[in-house]
């Protein structure tokens, strides 16, 4: 698959863009991760990470990147005792998680539509 894709990308000024769009389209069917507050879920199997096969999983990146990552950093720091607990009820944390999920889904949808547009132009030109 990689070899045939490499041949399809070509060597013109749009080859890198074609590669990114096609690679993205192949990975799109994967299930998107969602933010949630563990305190509002009773079923601990929902904390499982399928690909890594671990029962409990928390993901975050640098806290300068996304608000959700700031919340995760603060919650982890509080659980380790290096900062005071957040003064938020678990329902408020879940509400923030839902908002972050909504924004992430909207962003993903715009990205998909942009890729679809580029791909349709690519197909028409080819």
Give pLDDT tens digits for 24-55: 777 666 667 788 888 888 888 888 887 788 88
- Asked if residue 39 and residue 14 are part of one domain, the reply reads no
CA–CA separation, 94 vs 39, rounded Å?
Answer: 9
- Asked if residue 58 and residue 24 are part of one domain, the reply reads no
Domain that holds residue 1: 1-30
CA geometry: angle at 48 spanning 47 and 52, to 5°? 140
Q: Which residues contact 14 (CB under 8 A, 6 or more apart)?
A: 122
- Asked if residue 64 and residue 3 are part of one domain, the reply reads no
Split into its structural domains, the chain has a count of: 2
Whose structure tokens read 């096969």? 53
- Tell me the pLDDT tens digit for each residue of 68-112: 888 888 888 998 999 998 898 999 999 999 999 999 899 889 988
- Asked if residue 93 and residue 118 are part of one domain, the reply reads yes
Prediction pTM value = 0.63
- Asked if residue 117 and residue 56 are part of one domain, the reply reads yes
């Amino acid at each position: 698959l990689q070899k045939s894709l490499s041949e399809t990308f070509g060597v013109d000024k749009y080859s890198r863009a074609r590669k990114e769009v096609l690679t993205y389209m192949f990975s799109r069917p994967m299930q998107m991760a969602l933010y949630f507050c563990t305190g509002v879920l009773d079923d601990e199997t929902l904390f499982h990470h399928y690909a890594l096969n671990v029962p409990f999983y928390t993901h975050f990146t640098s806290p300068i990147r996304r608000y959700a990552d700031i919340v995760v950093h603060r919650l982890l720091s509080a659980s380790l005792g290096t900062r005071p607990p957040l003064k938020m009820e678990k329902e408020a944390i879940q509400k923030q998680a839902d908002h972050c999920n909504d924004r992430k889904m909207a962003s993903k949808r715009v990205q998909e539509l942009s890729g679809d547009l580029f791909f349709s132009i690519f197909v028409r030109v080819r």
